[in-house]
Structure 1
């Protein structure tokens, strides 16, 4: 009888402990679901409910295979945008509870809303599924995508007739950039890129870093290749060894984290990037990833009267201080003055 009584007490204690564990995890989960809508900034302290703190002997956070016991938004640990983390709660009775959560980190300053004025229009070939787009004076370098249709073309702004054209029918070609006397280009999913000379003659292939899921956009700042892979990250690669990541940034404004960063252009100390399937171009600080300004090109998209949902805004270049804008299968390249 005594053994049954002790067993019953132990069962009740175990049940109470399990219920308390669930209560603590629910409290933490509910809190962070609410908190993530508000978001944090770098330097903020992560607010943990008092019930959880009282129940815990120690709390650590795991993110991207790293662990920290610092409950602050440290830029060396977190990135801008969404951070899918795990709270590890060591209770005072020695158990370790785990709760997944998402922590949003935003920029502190709201981006400007930039306006523009269309000052010129040029023809663009409607068969060109534009993936990479760069201007050097009046010469346009364009990377055309889709399997069986991919190619690099070089032509004069105002003409659709190529000066040079190199088919790449076995690839799905993506972003490109002219760096010095070489042309660098990414492919979509084959985990490789190409380096050409100025006459678009192949010099060699390279493998882009394994951390990049896919190849999307590409530009350069005169020191590094700058590439996107369809996530929130922008990577800076060593041009002498494009398999090597120099550093990376994630992209966010003061209220929103952005992923599916696509076509890129570097100009006057900023990265300009479009977001796949959105009518906007972001002006991004290359040191932090903070969005400093947003351009809404809904008007230009509406001028195309396109029925194909994939014929999206996807071409950014600069002619002097004026921006050139086009898209996949668009009939026009627009030259605009930014205001």
Structure 2
């Protein structure tokens, strides 16, 4: 009889414990779901529900190979965008509970809306599906995509007549380009290779496999030290020009309310990275030290002229002519020169 009573008492304790554990996890899940869309900013604290904190002896968060017991959104631990984490809770009853969650992190400061005015327009070949775009002196270097139509071309601003053209094999889909010294580097979309050319002749010098860290090549630029690439997410990849297959570091990009995935064509100018967002009429101004989007240009009025008949004719070209920005897009008939205001 005594044994039976003890067994029953143990069963009751186990039942209470299981119900309490479920209550903790349900409460944590509700909290995480409510915060997923709202997100956090760096420096914010995770104000977990009382059901969790009152029953926990310790709480930690693991993220990849890192773990922290601080419930503060620290940039040493978290990054812009979706952080896939696991909550580890050791209860006062001696149980260890785990729950996966997504912690979305945004920048603390709203991005500035940068005003501009169009100061000049230049002709652009509307046959060109622009993927990469840069300028040196008065010469435009352009990488055009699509299979059976990909090419690297060079022409003077104000003319559509090319000075030099390097056609790609039919299976190549060309993407972003960057100039480093006397070389032009070019990515490809899904061919998983990149090319290096002589900038004067556009003759191919070599090719390289794209880094394993990204499966597709999109935009490319050069900051004077590293090539900077993207692959259609909100990550920027810093590459070694001497070995473009090597990722030096990865930098996630984030805005105040938006994580700008599908970052596309890139340009580095005066200490900032400028980036198109695929299928969006915006150009972002990004701090390359932090990944924070500090400014945004809205080119909706210009873009609508080209996308109204074909949604793929998107804004996708950024270059600089002195301090003025040149913008164009896929199959656009013009290049626009804009001055910041």
Q: Please give the range of the TM-score, normalised by the shorter of the 2 chains.
A: over 0.9
Q: Which sits farther off after the overlay, 82-91 or 225-234?
A: 82-91
Matched residue, 1:266: 268
Structure 1 Cα separation of the partners of residues 327 and 333 of structure 2: 11
Aligned to 1:230: 232
- Distance in 1 separating the partners of 2:19 and 2:128: 61
Unaligned runs of 5+ in 2: none
Secondary structure (helix, strand or coil) at the match of 1:318 reads strand
- Shift in Å, 1:127: 2.0
TM alignment of 1:183-332, pairs within 5 A: 183-198=184-199, 199-304=201-306, 306-332=308-334
The range that moved more, 85-94 or 307-316, is 85-94
Structure 2 partner of 1:171: 172
- Measured after TM superposition, the shift of residue 42 of structure 1 is 2.3
- Give the whole-Å Cα distance in 1 for the aligned partners of 2:128 and 2:5: 80
Corresponding residue for 1:63? 63
Total equivalences in the alignment = 339
SS of 1:247's equivalent? Answer: strand
Alpha-carbon deviation of 1:336?
Answer: 1.1
Contact 2:307 2:313 in 1 (8 A): no
Shift of the alpha carbon at 1:224?
A: 0.8
| Alignment deviations for residues 68-88 of structure 1 (CA, whole Å, 9 cap, x no partner) | 333222212211222222212
Task: Determine if contact 2:143/2:174 at 8 Å carries over to the other structure.
Answer: yes
Contact 2:172 2:188 in 1 (8 A): yes
Tell me which moved more, 328-337 or 291-300: 328-337
Per-residue CA deviations over 1:207-243 (Å, capped at 9, x if unaligned) read 2321223211100111110111111111211111112
Query: Alpha carbons of 1:150 and 1:7: their partners in 2 closer, same or farther (altered >3 Å)?
Result: farther
Name the CA shift for 1:58/1:191 in 2 (closer, same or farther; >3 Å): farther
Q: CA deviation at 1:137?
A: 2.1
* 1:3 CA displacement: 6.3
Match of 1:335 in 2: 337
Per the normalisation by structure 1, the TM-score is: 0.93
Q: Does 2:109 align with 1:109? A: yes
Change (3 A) 1:146 1:7: farther
Q: CA deviation at 1:7?
A: 5.1
Q: State the Cα deviation string for residues 95-150 of structure 1 (Å, max 9, x = none).
A: 33222222222222222111111121122222211111111122111111112221
**Greater mean alpha carbon deviation, residues 195-204 or residues 305-314:** 305-314
Q: Retained in 1: the 8 A contact 2:213–2:247?
A: no
What CA distance in whole angstroms lies between the structure 2 residues aligned with 1:175 and 1:218? 5
Runs of 5+ consecutive residues of structure 1 not aligned to the other structure = none
Partner of 1:30: 30
Counterparts of 1:9 and 1:190 in 2: how far apart (Å)? 66
1:289 to partner: Cα distance: 0.9
Residue 125 (structure 2) aligns with: 125
TM-score with structure 2 setting the length = 0.92
SS in 1 for 2:163: strand
RMSD: 2.0
**Following superposition of structure 1 onto structure 2, how do residues 39-58 of structure 1 map, counting pairs within 5 Å?**
39-58=39-58
TM-superposed deviation, 1:26: 1.6
Q: Note closer, same or farther for the CA distance 1:311–1:27 as it changes in structure 2 (3 Å cut).
A: same
Determine the C-alpha separation between the residues in 2 that align with 1:305 and 1:175.
Answer: 21
2: CA distance between counterparts of 1:244 and 1:76? 23
SS at match of 1:293: strand
C-alpha distance in structure 1 between counterparts of 2:26 and 2:240, whole Å: 45
What is residue 161 of structure 2 aligned with on the other side?
Answer: 161
